[in-house]
Every structure is written in structure tokens, then in C-alpha cells.
């Protein structure tokens, strides 16, 4: 069973360029046998593409920005802790290197991370941000309960 997470960011970069930043941070290489261009990470599959028009409209209505790039993470449930920590490491690397408003969503609606106008907010209600994972965050942030989409 796969747990689906989406990291959506507003940027002029192509999805492949944003994917490359995450891959470099995690020391991942593309697998030549992957027909859909997915990258295998520790306990997850990673892919990138443009944000679907409906998802873009939903984010714009709910959060006030229209993301252009979507990194999709499919976490393996039996490796959730390791996979989640690695995913957050990759997402935070993208945030360090790519400016723009961004959100990390679980299941398309639970907001785990939100960056708006340079301010980073981390969700305090889900338990995702353990001390180990907070140690990965190098930018100033605030913890608060983030509403779902």
C-alpha cells in the first residue's frame, strides 16, 4: 500500500529541474528500467510533473497561489518512518534552492508544510514533525495547526 504525498511549488523551473534538486539532496539516481520516469528512494517512489489544472485551481482558491511543479511521493506503508524522513529531507532541500510559494500535502488535502511569501509554516497537529525531522529544517519556521484544503 502506498501513502501519497504531493509537494507543489510555484517556480519557473521545469519539473525535471526541481526533481533533480531533490534527487541530488537524497543521492538518488534514475532507474533506467522505470517506464514512467519514477525514481526509487528509501521506502518511496518519486516522480515529477506539472500540477494538474484542477489541483492548481484548488490551491489558488484555498491558499492563494497557483503552483506549477508537483513532486509526487508514494511512500511504502511498511517503511513509513524512514521514507517520511527522507521525503522531508528532499522537500526541504528544494525549499532551500528554489524560491516560491509551496505546500506539502498528504492525500491531496492535509497540509504538512506551507511556504507563503517566504514564511515557512509546519503543521503542529499531525505529528509528522518529530524532533529528528525538525532538525532537518534550516530556515526559520513557525509551528501551527494548518487547515486542510
* pLDDT bracket for residue 101 (50, 70, 90): very high
Q: If you average pLDDT over every residue of the chain, what do you get? A: 92
CA distance linking residue 39 with residue 30, whole number of Å: 5
* pLDDT bracket for residue 29 (50, 70, 90): confident
- pLDDT tens track for 116-139: 999 999 999 999 999 999 999 999
Is pLDDT at 107 greater than 60 in this prediction? Answer: yes
| Cα distances (Å, whole numbers) of residue 49 to 34, 82, 133 | 15, 24, 26
Mean pLDDT of 15-44: 84
Which is more confident, 77 or 69? 69
Is pLDDT at 35 greater than 80 in this prediction? Answer: no
**How far out from the chain centre does Cα 116 lie?**
14
Domains and CATH numbers, the chain: 2-144 (3.30.70.2920)
Beta strand pairing status for 141-144 and 119-123?
parallel
- Closest to 71 in 3D by CA, of 100, 137, 60: 100
Is pLDDT at 32 greater than 60 in this prediction? Answer: no
* pLDDT bracket for residue 108 (50, 70, 90): confident
> Over pLDDT 70: what percentage of the chain?
95
* pLDDT bracket for residue 77 (50, 70, 90): confident
DSSP-H helix ranges across 6-101: 15-26, 53-63, 80-97
| CB proximity list for 69: less than 8 A, separation 6 or greater | 8, 9, 10, 11, 13, 14, 15, 18, 48, 49, 50, 51
Amino acid at each position: 500500500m502506498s501513502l501519497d504525498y504531493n509537494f507543489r511549488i510555484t517556480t519557473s523551473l521545469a519539473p525535471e529541474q526541481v526533481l533533480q534538486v531533490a534527487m541530488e539532496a537524497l543521492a538518488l539516481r534514475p532507474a533506467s528500467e522505470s517506464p514512467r520516469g519514477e525514481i526509487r528512494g528509501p521506502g518511496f517512489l518519486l516522480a515529477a510533473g506539472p500540477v494538474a489544472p484542477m489541483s492548481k485551481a484548488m490551491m489558488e482558491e484555498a491558499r492563494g497561489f497557483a503552483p506549477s511543479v508537483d513532486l509526487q511521493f508514494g511512500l511504502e506503508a511498511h517503511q513509513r518512518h524512514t521514507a517520511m524522513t527522507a521525503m522531508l529531507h528532499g522537500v526541504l532541500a528544494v525549499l532551500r534552492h528554489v524560491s516560491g510559494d509551496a505546500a506539502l500535502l498528504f492525500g491531496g488535502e492535509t497540509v504538512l508544510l506551507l511556504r507563503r511569501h517566504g514564511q515557512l509554516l509546519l503543521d503542529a497537529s499531525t505529528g509528522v514533525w518529530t524532533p529528528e525531522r525538525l532538525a532537518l529544517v534550516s530556515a526559520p519556521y513557525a509551528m501551527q495547526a494548518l487547515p486542510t484544503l
